[in-house]
Amino acid sequence: GAVVSQHPSWVICKSGTSVKIECRSLDFQATTMFWYRQFPKQSLMLMATSNEGSKATYEQGVEKDKFLINHASLTLSTLTVTSAHPEDSSFYICSADRTYEQYFGPGTRLTVT
């Protein structure tokens, strides 16, 4: 149990375009999901906390207008990278909270050309 999926697993987009990443909890409901970003050989950095039915809480330094988060249901949160630039290329990982334990998705590799 406690499986979290992400889609797509990898995506290549052109600079200036927008990309949407989905995070789904497959066998449980999650009122809270988290979005992390991980650059090569670095640790996971929390970007934002996504709460079902309310606005996301962004960490300091993360632009909310650039990284749009929508948590429209108890099993789905989406992260949209708007007007992507090469510096946004990274590994994006989501996690879903179930009884205060986080279960991680497999990650999405974003490459902006």
Partner 1 sequence: GESVGLHLPTLSVQEGDNSIINCAYSNSASDYFIWYKQESGKGPQFIIDIRSNMDKRQGQRVTVLLNKTVKHLSLQIAATQPGDSAVYFCAENNRGSQGNLIFGKGTKLSVKP
User: Rule CB under 8 A: which residues touch partner 1?
Assistant: 4, 6, 34, 41-46, 49, 57, 91, 93, 95, 97, 100-107, 109
With CA atoms as reference, report the closest residue to 19 among 104, 71, 78: 78
Q: Supply the minimum distance, in Å, between the C-beta of residue 1 and partner 1.
A: 13
Q: CA–CA separation, 80 vs 73, rounded Å? A: 16
Q: 19 vs 34, which CB is nearer to partner 1? A: 34
Q: 19 vs 94, which CB is nearer to partner 1? A: 94
- Residue whose tokens read 């249901």: 73
Q: Supply the minimum distance, in Å, between the C-beta of residue 40 and partner 1.
A: 8
Contact 113, 86 (CB under 8 A): yes
Q: Supply the minimum distance, in Å, between the C-beta of residue 94 and partner 1.
A: 8
- In this structure, the strands spanning 101-104 and 108-112 are unpaired
Q: 57 vs 70, which CB is nearer to partner 1? A: 57
Contact 88, 112 (CB under 8 A): yes
